[in-house]
């Protein structure tokens, strides 16, 4: 199994520190945003799976606030939510 620390920048040598948790959160958000720009649902599902691994690592390390922010971004960027937001904006523009 690949451990999440393999994806972290080498400057974060203190695993499970607050800096580590914040960088992990930034990585997860960036990863989700990249997948959200695609209409490919398979790509989104793969990005979602990786983001959930990030979340699990944060929870196991004792960082529930950062884990909750990942949930917020998942909700914000999920394809069905983006489509609903776009439709609502289009209705409001008329």
Nearest-angstrom CA–CA distance, 19 and 43? 29
* H-helix or E-strand spanning residue 28: helix 18-36
Six-digit token string for 77: 């960027």
Nearest-angstrom CA–CA distance, 26 and 5? 14
Nearest-angstrom CA–CA distance, 55 and 4? 10
Give the predicted TM-score (pTM) of the model. 0.70
Q: pLDDT of the chain along its 94 residues, tens only?
A: 556 656 655 555 466 789 999 999 999 999 899 888 777 888 888 999 999 999 999 999 999 999 999 999 999 988 776 666 667 777 776 5
Q: Return the closest-CA partner of residue 55 out of 44, 47, 66, 45.
A: 66
């Amino acid at each position: 199994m690949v451990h999440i620390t393999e994806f972290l920048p080498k400057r974060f040598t203190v695993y499970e520190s607050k800096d580590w948790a914040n960088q992990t959160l930034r990585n997860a958000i960036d990863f989700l945003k990249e997948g959200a720009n695609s209409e490919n649902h398979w790509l989104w599902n793969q990005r979602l799976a990786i983001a959930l691994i990030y979340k699990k690592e944060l929870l196991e390390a004792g960082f529930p606030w950062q884990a909750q922010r990942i949930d917020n971004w998942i909700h914000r960027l999920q394809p069905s939510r983006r489509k609903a937001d776009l439709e609502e904006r289009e209705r409001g523009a008329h």
